[in-house]
Structure 1
Amino acid sequence: METLSGDLLIFEAPSVVTGFRALASIEKPDVQVIDASPSGAGRFLILLKGSSAALHEIQKAMRDAVVDEVGYDEPVDHELIENANGALLEAAYSLLPQKLNGSLVVIETDSVSAMFAAGQIFVEHQKLTPLEIKIRKTGGKGAYGFFTGPAELCALAAQDVRTRFKDAVREAKILVFDEPNEAIRSMFEGA
């Protein structure tokens, strides 16, 4: 299987039509489309893999294409993650089942871009293991995810994301379980 790590661009358009307009602006053949699909509440998710330089150029072209159509008032979220940890995509597309390993962080974000940004912090900076990332495809918007690791790292990771999101004016609900009970453990380890 091809490695899923590398540079990623997550782009969320405010509608399916606008999402396809953004897709049509991609003129780089060396960029791989990993996902292009509705992501709930009328939004459209585009997930691309390629070189950082190509993704920076595409990010601007896609943003310009969307702004030309809907203006600056519509919600458009995007995140370019250089050297993204492949475990994030594996968790998002359920390719790598993991077991709960110590404490648990539950996070809910208002956009998929924010989830991947938080996930990169959890995995790369705080060395947590992603258990699962769920992209809302119907009803609501955004994503939620589960990450595991030692209690002290989970607490640090949660605080790190809260601080960075506050500075970036992003929203996330984060809950840390230092010692998950049996009901929570059974969700990840089976009954």
Structure 2
Amino acid sequence: MANDPKKIRFAPNGALFVAPATEGLVVPTDLGTADTPPAGYKALGYVDEGGVTLTPAIETQPVNAWQSATAVLYNVTSASFSVKATLQETNEVTTELFWGAEWVEIMDNAEPAVGTGVFKLDLASTPELKEISLVVDWNQGAVRNRVVIPRSMISDRGAIQLSRTENGKFELTIEALDSAGKLGYVLTNDDIVDTTP
């Protein structure tokens, strides 16, 4: 097969979408349309210029045998799929994901109580980890790609740097959880698969 520079891919455009991983959620099975969240999902907005890092990983253990100085096979000891991104928009969805809690409006003492316009987010000493479903879209022109993770949890959060010259950012690492024997799946309309018989 000849080298083909037209097969070199970049990801100049993309988006992240998130939804609670509830029982009634229907995860997308198609590529959707650019910039439109799948049904039931919300967009996470701008990601910093480093983009999104997708890391599939498999850890193995060699199986050795008396008759060979080399391993005779490898056994899978663990598998994982992580997504890392630094979100740049400060909105309800990104802040609740980062802080791991929900905003609640503070009410005044009047009868009936009226919202004050001030919102509070409690940081629990024993946080409750919530399951989310994640969709990562990226494209180069008409070539579209999508990763769908039906079940996942946030495994790590970066520090927020408060600065006069740098915007606030929310660094998140999201780890896929088992979903009926799968971590997730990848969809594409790229012509990379040979369909000739």
TM-score by length of 2: 0.24
> Higher strand share goes to which structure?
2
Decide which structure has the larger Cα Rg and report it.
Answer: 2
After TM superposition, the score normalised by the length of structure 1 is: 0.24
More helix by share: 1
